[in-house]
Amino acid sequence: MQTYQLQAHPAFPPLQVSSVEVKWGIVGSWLQLRWRVDGAGQVVLPHFAGRSRGDRLWNTTCCEVFVQPMHSARYVEYNFSPSEAWAAYNFTGWREGMADRSMSHDPVITPRKGRNLFILDVAVPLADLPEMPAGLSLTAVVEEETGRKSYWALTHGSPDKPDFHDPACFAATLAAPEVP
């Protein structure tokens, strides 16, 4: 598993959240991801919705991953809510051509919240990812009880406004799985 520390966007700092970390790796035929939010005592978690496709999940606490095949303008956005709802969208270019992405299986989403810690485990079938190798953007929207939202990414392209679709955010690489 690889581990990345996400950075809060400077224009939208958190109140109590102290860090967001993402671990990810390929296990068998699944991409497994784990978001860990420290300082999460006041984090707002949406109500349980069950494993189902949703929309506009980023309006509250939501973890996201963007996958862009190398040398391509197109990319896929996946949203994972602590409610266990999810979304997947294809884009033909930067914020262009948005369409629902078909999935062979619903992602498996497992949220856990302790006193000051929030963890979201997600498993996505590799068959539902675009071809690899690919650029990878790991992100999170974290809402706290005051309504304050912080926007976390590997890196941010603009200091003025968070934009997880910005090409600068694709700062990790997802390699094709090794065949034994």
Angle of CA points 59, 52, 27, to nearest 5°: 95
Angle of CA points 76, 50, 55, to nearest 5°: 40
pLDDT digits (tens, 9 = 90+) for 14-25: 999 999 999 999
Task: Choose among 90, 169, 94, 123: nearest CA to 24.
Answer: 123
Give this prediction's pTM. 0.95
pLDDT digits (tens, 9 = 90+) for 111-166: 999 999 999 999 999 999 998 889 999 999 999 999 999 999 999 999 999 999 99
Domain ranges of the chain: 2-174
pLDDT over threshold 60, residue 180 = no
CATH of domain 2-174: 2.60.40.1190
pLDDT at 175: 83
Residues of the chain above pLDDT 70, percent: 98
Contact yes or no for 142/149 (Cβ under 8 A) = yes
147: amino acid identity, one letter: G
